[in-house]
Structure formats: C-alpha cells, structure tokens
Structure 1
Amino acid sequence: MSADKTVAESCHELASAWQAGTYEWWPSADRLSWSPELIRLYGLKQAPTAEDGFSALVHPEDRVRVEGETSTYLGSDLTTYSHSFRIVRPDGAVRVMLDRGVIDRDAAGNVRVIRGLNIDVTDQARAGFSMQHGAAAGVGGQPEQAHLAPHAVPTGVFEWDIRADKVQRIASDYPGMPKTEGAPETFEHVAKAVHPADREAFRAAVTAALTSPDGKYWSRHRYAGPKGAECWFVENGRVEFDTDRTPIRMIGFAHAIPEQEHPGQEPTDADAVLAALFGGAPVGLGVWDSEFRFQYVNPMLASINGLPSDVHIGRRPDELLPDLVDFERLYRRWGEILETG
C-alpha cells in the first residue's frame, strides 16, 4: 500500500465496521470528495459534487441549523469541529449522523480544505444517550436524540505514519481527549500523554499490533484530563503493512468510557500489561471459573464465536456454541487441571 494514501483511503476497513465514511471539502472551489463508505451511508450511487448537493440531503428541520453551524466554523479560527444532524436518504429513511473533522487553514487563516468523518449513530440515538443540544423527531415520529454524548460513538480518529513517526489525531472537544494542534506529534509524544500507570500496557498493546499477523490494535488506558482529572478511553485500530511486512501506518478510533463504567480499582503494571496483551492478542483467549463459565473473553475469541463479548460472561461454552462437539471431554480435562494444578 502506498504511504501517500490519505486518511480517507486508509480508513476503509475501519470505516465500514463503524458505519462511517470520510470526506474532503475545498470551500473556495466548492468541491467535495466522498469515500465509498460515505456514499453508501447516504444511500447514494454517487457523491454530490458541491456543498448544496450535500445540504439537500440534510433533514429539512436541521438544514438551517447545519448551514449556520458550518458558516460559524468557517468564519472562526477553529481547527476542529463536531456537530450532528439527520439526513433523509433517497428511499425516505431518516438517519442520524455525527460529523467531526479538522479545518486546514493557510497562514492568513483562510480555509484551504476540510477533512471530516461522518458516523451513523442512529442506533445509539434510539438507545437513549444524552444529548448536547436537544431532541429531534425521528423515524416514524419517535423522538431521536440527535446530539449524542461523546462516549456514545468514537470520540476521535487517529493516524500514525509509522515510517515518518508522525501522529495526527482528529478529536472532538471532549475533555481529556488529546488532539493534534499544529505540527503532527511523534509516538513518544502520544505515549507520554498516557497515564503513567497505563503507559507500559499501552506500549505493549501497540507492540502486539505491530508484530501480529493481522495488525489489530486494542488498548484501554487513561489520559490526564483538565485540572488533573483522569479520563478513560478505549482505542482500537489496525496496522497496515508493506509487502515485506514492514509496518506503514496505523489508523484507528478512540472513544471515551463513561464514568460509571470506569474500572473500580487501580490496576497494577502487571495487570495492565496482561490486559493489553489479552486485548491485542491475535488468537482467541478466555478465562473461565470452576464451573466453566466465562469470566472474560478477548475481542478475538468473541469474533471467532460470532457473539458480543458481554454475551459470554456467566455462561458455559456449550450454552453459547451448541453446534460444537465433545464438550464433556473438554470439561473433564479442565476438571483434571483444576484438581491437579
């Protein structure tokens, strides 16, 4: 893969998985470029070529607000933006989009290009997450919460050009979420921003991704928030490799963990490293109790089983995977291990 690919091109696989798509907009030429994922999210066969084509897709009740917010972003000195709105697809379906991105300006402050990410958050909106600005009418007349709290969906997007050691982080204004200001950072800048108690585990997770067959990355760690507050985030992504397996870049998403879901105790360095290795391992790993019920399942094993991680907890493998055979032999072997050590 070419090292010259844009973030929009590099986000292809992750964008599909997150129901997200990327775009670039050059305001002075009024020229739009959409990724294939974004075209699909909007239910189109081809992307609009100008901003008015996009505006026509925005829900009529949100259109004036979105146009006003966009004008405010362009007329300010902001370098990032985040807002949400509804769209109406050609088939009549109403979807809720979270729109985040960065504004590239010249030395005089004029906007050169806007690069952004749209995430379809309709399902999260229906689930009842808190809003930033209020409720909006949704599909079938049901209320939809169109402006979600940052933890409902990915809070940021990051790209690490490994060969050049440049990190670019596109983030919302969520407290504690680091974002790139000005020149790109290095990996060491990012690592030093991680809480000292989590830093070793973070490095281990990155190393695991760089050396794994599929390049998958997963980490749960803290950043130092405003006035010393600790903000927890989960990050996941994927490393891209050259033909000789040299890591080229890592693209991924970060999303905040709600306060009520923060870990209840300080992890030791050993616990943190073990959790990172489990989370980023390229094989399926699980922890069971003495009755063979899942206590923990890593993302890879959950993917292999085709079930969400939380569905496993408290249940035995034969309850979840009835098509697999010879469970009794497995349980006998596990019983022997428990008895003999």
Structure 2
Amino acid sequence: MQIVHPDDRDHVRSEMARARKATSSYEYDFRILCGDGSVRSILDRGVVRREGGGEVTHLCGLQVDVTDLIARTVVRDPANPADTLKAVDDTDSRIGVGDVLDVLFDDAPVGLAIWDRDLRFVRINALLAEMNGLSPEAHLGKTVQELLPDVRDIEGLNAVFREILETGEAHRDVEVSGTTPAAPGEARYWREHFFPIRTDGEIVGVAATVEDVTEARHAQEQIDVLLHELNHRSKNLVALILAISRQTARHQPEDFLEVFQSRLEAMSAAQDLLIRRNEDAVSMQELIRSQLPHFAQLIGDRILLQGDPDIVVPGNAVQGLGLAFHELTTNAVKYGALSNHGGRLTIRWSERSAADMLCIEWQEHGGPVTAPPTRTGFGSSLTGAMLKSTLGAEIVADYAPEGLKWRLDLPRGCNRS
C-alpha cells in the first residue's frame, strides 16, 4: 500500500473488499508512486479462489502497467499563465478497460485464441493467425479441424477442449504439431496452454496461448543426434585405446610408456582438429600436419605436401588416418627417409571424382635401403588391416629398396565406422 498513490488508497481498499465478495472475478485500476517520483497507472484483473465452503483463499490476478495506454487531454489554463498546460480529470479521458484488453490481446508476443463451447473460434490475435497462414476473419466461426485438417491428432486436441469445458481444469505445456497453410508440407511444432473462460462462474469457452517452438524442437533433435554420435565415438575411442594399449604392451613392452603415449598424442591431435573445426570433416593438409609436429621445419624442404588444400577427410576417418600417419612417420624416423640427413618424404592426396575416391600416397626417398618387415606388428595393423576393416579402404604397401611406397584409396561412400 505504501507505493499506491495517496489519493487512490481508499479506492484500492474498497476494491479489494469488493473483490473478496465477487462471484468469480474482479477488475479495477489505480495509480502507484515510483521511486523516482513518477506516477504509473495499473490495471489489476483476476479471479477469486474459494475453499469448498465458499471462503475466499486467494485473489489470483495480473497487474499490467497501462500508463501509456491512458489518454490525457491537455488544454490551456488562462487563469494560470505560468502553468499553461493542465490535464483534464482522468475519469473523463481514460481508455476503457475493454480497449486496454484489446491492445493487450492484439499486441501479445504469443499467439492467443478463444473458442466457444462448440469449439469454434470466436477470437484470435494477428500473431496466431499468421502462424496458421490465414486471416483472423477466416477463423471466426470455424473449428480447428475445419481450418487446419493437417494438424496431427485433432481428436486428441478436441478431447483436451472437452475436458476443460467439463472440469474447468487448465492443461499446460500441450505439444501440438502438423502443417498449416503458412508453410505447406513443413512440419511445425507449437507449445500451447489451454485454460477455461468463466462468466459468472459458468464455463463459457476455452482460451489458449500458443508459441511456435519448431526451431527449438529442431535444435533439441540436433543435440540428441550429436549426443548419440558423441556416445558412439566415445565408445569407439575407448575401444581403440584399449586395443592400442594391449597391442603395444604385447609387441613393444620394453618401451611401452613412450610408444603408448605417442600414439595417444596422435589420437588427441586428430581429435583436436575435429573439435576446433566444429565440423564433421577435417582438411587433409591439417590432419597430416597435426601428425608431423616435430618436423614442421622440414615441410617444404625434405617433406613435401602435394594436394588440394580444400580436400577434406570425413569425421569418422580422421582418427584412423591420423594414427596411420603417426605410425608411418614413426617408422620413417626410425628406419626410413627421416632417419638420416638426406632422405625425403612426399605425401600426395587427390580425389578421383569418377570413382568418388580419396587417394593418398606416401613415398620415401633417400633413406636406408628398405626391406619388408620380418613380422607384422601393431604398427602394420594401424596402417593396413585396421583401415581396411573400419573404413573399407584399399591399401598397398611397397617396401622398395629406394624407399617405402604406401597408397590408400578410400571410397567416400564406404566408411563403416
């Protein structure tokens, strides 16, 4: 009461007392004093809640600042030249409550509609009419089924209407979907709140607020897909790490920690590219460079990268190819072209559009004389069998005396991971 204008306090007290005696609803207006000294006009409108015995327990309402909707007539006051402008008494110039509610209904930031007991539109605001793709006038006197036959489960929607008319209980957060003339053939989703309209205690219709949540629904679906993909990739990643640890321990137990760590770092570098790009593909050139961090100064001199920089690797092939490049680099440092001061490495990649194929060639020159391995280790599996099984790739490794030649052909449509 402290913020109520002093001239309106008795008015508010009497209106509150009258509201307690009301059958079902109340409505009155008053003014308040703001902290900065300004005066605002408030419309208070709501319903009366009673216990089973009829005793009032709550006044549930909405207070709306309607200052800007109140018209004031300004005239000159000849008797007071120093104060040349004077407002006429508010009671003669205020917009009627009905006009205020019209403005609130029409300018609300959500769709609004009212149906009678026959479930026919009796009022709809412009926003909801626009959502439906029909004029407001076209709705009047029609049912949802007549106007929007492509809304899904109309019978279920009608059942909600009938239950509200029978019980007087509101239904909130009802999801409605379907197509409308506003966007034929495009599925849309709406979140709607339905509640009864009462006059003198009798339920005379149903009202609803409607919000188009199609974009939010699609965003949630995308999040669900990404979470599913993340779960799938995480499981694959864990399985790959376990396989790497087991195979490294079996074949290279003497330097397990060093080798295992280097392989994990290769996987991490490839994963970083996917996360940083925020896409389901990575540039081939970036992927190769990520596996040559200690030899960046040799790129362009002893290491030649030849390929279209716009060619990308699909996301499900990044980890496998990254590990393969890491193993090839490790072998080149230990036994091949990067193990001396004169060797060279050329990495080429290209696309064959006719076969929809990604082709990669790894060729070493000038290193020690190369010979085929005497046994097949895990490194050979990473550059061979594993890529064949997970990506459907064709791989040829030629241990020619002048240097290793390794070639991979990856069908774009045959990725299996």
Structure 2 length-normalised TM? 0.27
TM-score of the aligned structures, taking structure 1 as reference length: 0.32
* Larger of the two Rg values belongs to structure: 2
**Structure with greater helix share of residues:** 2
**Higher relative contact order at CA 8 Å, sep ≥6: structure 1 or structure 2?**
1
